[in-house]
Amino acid sequence: MIIAVDGPAASGKGTIARALARHYGLPHLDTGLLYRAVALTVERLGLDPSREADAVAACDFDERVLADPLLRSDAVGQRASIVSAHPLVRASLLQRQRRFAAQPGGAVLDGRDIGTVIAPDATAKLFVKAAAQVRARRRHAELQATGSSIGLDQVLADIRARDARDEGRAAAPLVQAADAAPLDTSNLSIEASVQRAIEMVEAQR
Ligand code: C5P
């Protein structure tokens, strides 16, 4: 069983994907971390994320970077959306994601293009979304909890910028797969979102 969970930043897709993996006893891959690892490596090598050749050079990143706490920062997320627009970066990370999805027993993957490109034949596909204001409030609360003093307006502007880049790029843009079930978490608690996600997977398998 392969479960594809796609959606924009701070929509709740990561939380839902982790909960589905626990529920079904499947391994889980947060594919955003791969693009974040490329972005952080580009930065550390002093390269330019907007140059495709520079970003490609960072695709062969040191695996230890995947455990770096800096990976989850907003700044790295923004740069991840710059490196992820390069077709050669996406091609370089494709097989790794497909191999993960092809494990015996199955897997849960979350990202932007799992249902459309990585696993178009997934058993179940969810497209998790939420209003930009709601996503900004969630991300803002998370950042405050880590001691950040960034304002809500800035977080909202960052989310909108990242949405625009992810939806507007030519290579594997963020878009709901035709056969994905939409799940709007704007007015749902985490528990209710997970419950609804399990019902949607059950309806598709
Ligand atoms: O999901 P997360 O916020 O960690 O993703 C960081 C960035 O990586 C996204 O904004 C997007 O540009 C890119 N990404 C992608 N395809 C994926 C997962 C993430 O392009 N499957």
Which amino acid belongs to residue 49? P
Per-residue pLDDT for 146 more than 90? no
- Radius of gyration of the chain measured on its C-alpha atoms: 16
Per-residue pLDDT for 73 more than 90? no
Task: Please give the pLDDT value at position 117.
Answer: 97
Helices (H) and strands (E) in the chain, counts: 8, 5
Distance 91 CA to ligand 1 centre (A): 14
Instruction: With beta carbons less than 8 A apart as the criterion, state whether 199 and 192 touch.
Output: no
Top mutation candidate among 31, 70, 76, 83 for ligand 1, by most atoms within 8 Å of CB = 31
Mean pLDDT of the chain: 96
Task: Please give the pLDDT value at position 104.
Answer: 96
Mean pLDDT of all residues in 119-138: 98
Instruction: With beta carbons less than 8 A apart as the criterion, state whether 71 and 33 touch.
Output: yes
User: Is the predicted ipTM greater than 0.90, yes or no?
Assistant: yes
Task: Please give the pLDDT value at position 74.
Answer: 87
Residues in the annotated binding site for ATP? 7-15
Question: Which phi and psi (to 5°) does residue 193 adopt?
Answer: -65, -45
Atom 1, ligand 1: which residue's CA is nearest?
A: 32
Atom 2, ligand 1: which residue's CA is nearest?
A: 32
